[in-house]
Amino acid sequence: MTTTTLDGKVAFINGGSRGIGAATARRLAREGATVVIGYQASAIAAEALVAEIEARGGRATALKADASDAVALTRAIDGVAERHGRLDILVNSAGVLLLGPVDQFTLDDFDKTVAVNVRAVFVAAKAAARHMREGGRIINISSTNAGRMPFAGGAVYAMSKSALTGLAKGLARDLGPRGITVNNVNPGPIDTDMNPAHTDFAAALHGLMALPRHGHADEVAGFVAYLASAESAFVTGADLLIDGGFAA
């Protein structure tokens, strides 16, 4: 471990077994945090990530936490705080991407999108805030689509991410007097299972960007690590783009 800017901190990453969440777990552990990786179905991936982090000298555990189940998610976060005696950092990385034109988009898919992308963020933030001290950090993985949806079929996804803008601003006001910050990281196209870099769809996205490539999950994780650190103490209620100029 080369840096310890988060030494002594405890972080819970909801949706931490794959993609941006997994990269964030690696980065925060490298910075010295004890990392709890929340997962819904990817137990094998979560345990493999724990083993990887521990092999590099970090501290990590995996914990099943269904983002769509408010009771289970709250119980998981309470358990992290009780087990470690504190909770300093919450990263809301769980998300779903369901696309389709409005005349074909089902109400079930609408409800699932809202449950995971919006409701779970509120539930987790509410649970985590009860345990956080001054210097606490709540970081939501949102999307550049919160402010720009340049193709058809993404209305509900964009709505779910734009809802986080208002939520983060409001929570920042609620929790600011306690020294807790709340921010959104808004990635553009990132090379993950959800949005791989080598598809026809990816090529179309690159044509909309100032930097015509997918980003890397590690690049987003570095942004999250900054927001988790003491250096970001004066940043709150913000939507912070890391999108290769997608929204430029």
**Catalytic sites, residue numbers:** 157
Neighbours of 159 (CB within 10 A): 17
How many residues make up the chain in this entry? 248
The residues, any chain, with a CB within 8 Å of residue 166's CB and separated by 6 or more, are none
